[in-house]
Structure 1
Amino acid sequence: MGWREVARTQQGLITRAQLLALGVTRGMIRHRISTDRWVARSSLVIGTTTGELTRAQLMRLGVLHAGGAALIGDLTAAELGGLRNWHRDAVTVLVPQGRELGPPLEGIRFVETRRPLRTMRQPDLDLPVCRLEPALLHFAAYQPSMRTAEGLVAAAVQQGLTTPELLHEWVDRMRPLRWARMFRQTLCEIADGSQSVAELDVLRMCREYGLCTPRQQTKRRDARGRIRFTDCEWLLPDGRTLVLEVDGAFHMEVEHWEDDLARQRALAAHDRVQIRCTARELRDTPGAIAHDLRLLGVPRAA
């Protein structure tokens, strides 16, 4: 295989070492760069095309420059795995602890780790990419906010990209892992039906204030025949059902707010009471919500 074929398989990028191994001399490399036919993308990697790098090229540049067992990791790997709404502009590349990489590369964040990267690699991909579960947990474990960590794993499960069981397995495989105990508890709660951090907060509020835990993500057919899922439901002593819907920040946008109002009307029934709260209220004033739920008839926990 010649250098052109190698570069083509690597989004137009190739290392100096690869070029030399394929018979391209240092003088030829210098000449092509000086005549603007090639571009030195880093001290180790040459671009055989000019112009701004695409995101795919930026990822390839990162792993080619780092070499060895380097992997696309953290939220970048999760993005490649289909995760939505957690985008970060910088590409994350996991590298072995102590790897000397020289000056920083714009748009690439190198993260050193002692973890065995080869065992974390997604199989059957040309680009070295971390498996989804360890990528999620590696990023989440080093966040300053525990809520961010919980929100990430909940989002991945909610979007159908992984399961609590697979994540739990990787929590054990990645020992020692910061916040491992929290991850195990959160994953158990997600497995029981919680789909978001707000729904996890509802369960914790119920435990803290002695309320029965609700059914979560209950399947309902609305007045128009559409299938809906409610956030939390309690069966009240008088036979009615109390429905609590938790509004996140995006619910405050006019379009979503109107959609939620229409959804609430369509789900209304004579034996169903619907109330709402915000995710911020659940986080900051759970006692007030628990008080209101008791007044509406939510039973105390046994």
Structure 2
Amino acid sequence: MGGLDELLDRQDGVLSVRQALWFLSRSALRARVRSGRWQRAHRNVLVAHNGALTERQRLWVASLAAGPDEPAPIAGLTALIAHGLRGFEAPTVWVVLPTNRDHRAPPAGVTVRQTTTLLPRDIHPVARPPRTRAPRSLVDAAAWARTDLEARGIVAACYQQRLVRHDDVLDALARAPRARRRRLTAATARDAAGGATSVGELDLLAAIRRAGLPEPKLQLRRRDAGGKVRYLDGYYPEYGLHLEVDGAHHDDPLQAWADMDRQNALWQRGERVLRFPAWMVRDRPDVVVARIRDALRAAGWPG
């Protein structure tokens, strides 16, 4: 039974019927399921206990259910979350397969996508269950997102959380010339690599560019009077003008006070601060741009 135990350990207690038959007869396999020692998570996938499944076991079930001969790689947003992406929940478990590979009907809550561009280099070499590398996962997650806004948010978060390198994302995009939202993903990745690490900052940068205003430095690292390192959403050092985009987390009382305290310190140094809620940047960019233009001119911008 050593081989079976090793397989169960390697796959978190989940195995396909085909794998189980390497070690057990059909009658012995049926006996384990009928006795309740094991459970059938899918017609072709078994779990070697009768309790609730862990998140990793859910991923193994999806991987083994989709691949008839070997585990299929987890992909897209599901893979990014497995890589450590925070702040998102996948509406389904995404699995990817080459178009020339047969696959079975997946269980509920699992979506199988097939592609002609999946290469061995796209698969993480040691992750279990198998999953696509973060750059390929980003490209797929953006393509499969429910909206453009969600796609942009995923790309920005991957950069902000240091899950990807820009060169690797560009390489993954180059190998997926027909990917959905490819241009949007490339543009968002370019801005995220330049420092825009939230959808609000991306919207702000886009509005500034459309208006023909000078572009601020993004996510500039500064140390405040108390020695704490802070990152500025946008900053014009030559005009002493700060731009801040406030997301929902700024409504927290402690965060709100930290924002006020920092703004007070900046005013004491003679610098200007403009703050906008993220919804205003998105829905009324004309108002936002007008305020920035006026502030720049007041600070000496000749435009």
TM-score, normalised to structure 2's length? 0.89
Q: Percent identity?
A: 31
Root-mean-square deviation over aligned CA pairs: 2.2
Amino acid aligned to 1:149: A
The 3 A distance-change label for structure 1 pair 269 and 169 is farther
**Contact conserved, 2:218 with 2:233, CA < 8 A, in 1?**
yes
Per the TM alignment, residue 99 of structure 1 is displaced from its structure 2 partner at its CA by: 4.1
**Contact conserved, 1:212 with 1:300, CA < 8 A, in 2?**
no
Give the stretch that moved more between structures: 277-286 or 288-297.
Answer: 288-297
Counterpart residue number, 2:104: 101
Deviation track 1:222-254 (CA, whole Å, cap 9, x = no partner) reads 121222221112256xxx511111101222233
Per the TM alignment, residue 94 of structure 1 is displaced from its structure 2 partner at its CA by: 2.2
Does 2:41 correspond to 1:41?
yes
Amino acid aligned to 1:93: V
Per the TM alignment, residue 268 of structure 1 is displaced from its structure 2 partner at its CA by: 3.7
Deviation track 1:152-192 (CA, whole Å, cap 9, x = no partner) reads 11111111111222111111111211222222222222233
Does 2:258 correspond to 1:247?
no
Amino acid aligned to 1:63: S
**Contact conserved, 2:207 with 2:289, CA < 8 A, in 1?**
yes
Question: Distance between the aligned counterparts of 2:296 and 2:42, measured in 1?
Answer: 65
Amino acid aligned to 1:20: L
Question: Distance between the aligned counterparts of 2:146 and 2:283, measured in 1?
Answer: 18
Tell me the secondary structure at the aligned position of residue 217 of structure 1. Answer: strand
Counterpart residue number, 1:31: 31
Per the TM alignment, residue 65 of structure 1 is displaced from its structure 2 partner at its CA by: 1.6
Structure 2 unaligned spans of 5+: none
Per the TM alignment, residue 59 of structure 1 is displaced from its structure 2 partner at its CA by: 0.8
**Contact conserved, 1:63 with 1:72, CA < 8 A, in 2?**
yes
Deviation track 1:6-52 (CA, whole Å, cap 9, x = no partner) reads 22221112222122222x11111112211112212211122221100
Give the stretch that moved more between structures: 62-71 or 206-215.
Answer: 62-71
Counterpart residue number, 1:289: 288
Counterpart residue number, 1:260: 259
Aligned 1:57-136 pairs, distance under 5 A:
57-67=57-67, 68=70, 70-88=72-90, 90-97=92-99, 99-102=102-105, 105-106=107-108, 108-119=109-120, 120-136=122-138
Question: Distance between the aligned counterparts of 1:15 and 1:188, measured in 2?
Answer: 42
Structure 1 unaligned spans of 5+: none
Per the TM alignment, residue 69 of structure 1 is displaced from its structure 2 partner at its CA by: 5.8
**Contact conserved, 1:15 with 1:46, CA < 8 A, in 2?**
yes
Per the TM alignment, residue 144 of structure 1 is displaced from its structure 2 partner at its CA by: 4.0
**Contact conserved, 1:39 with 1:46, CA < 8 A, in 2?**
yes
Per the TM alignment, residue 265 of structure 1 is displaced from its structure 2 partner at its CA by: 2.7
Give the stretch that moved more between structures: 175-184 or 58-67.
Answer: 175-184
Counterpart residue number, 2:52: 52
The 3 A distance-change label for structure 1 pair 176 and 272 is same
Per the TM alignment, residue 93 of structure 1 is displaced from its structure 2 partner at its CA by: 2.2
TM-score, normalised to structure 1's length? 0.89
Tell me the secondary structure at the aligned position of residue 85 of structure 1. Answer: coil
Tell me the secondary structure at the aligned position of residue 296 of structure 2. Answer: coil
Counterpart residue number, 1:3: 4
Counterpart residue number, 2:185: 183
Give the stretch that moved more between structures: 118-127 or 283-292.
Answer: 118-127
Counterpart residue number, 1:269: 268
Amino acid aligned to 2:104: L
**Contact conserved, 1:15 with 1:45, CA < 8 A, in 2?**
yes
Question: Distance between the aligned counterparts of 1:264 and 1:226, measured in 2?
Answer: 14
Tell me the secondary structure at the aligned position of residue 95 of structure 2. Answer: strand
Aligned 1:218-237 pairs, distance under 5 A:
218-235=220-237
Amino acid aligned to 1:229: Y
**Contact conserved, 1:40 with 1:47, CA < 8 A, in 2?**
yes
Per the TM alignment, residue 217 of structure 1 is displaced from its structure 2 partner at its CA by: 1.7
Deviation track 1:37-82 (CA, whole Å, cap 9, x = no partner) reads 2212211122221100001111111112222361111112111111
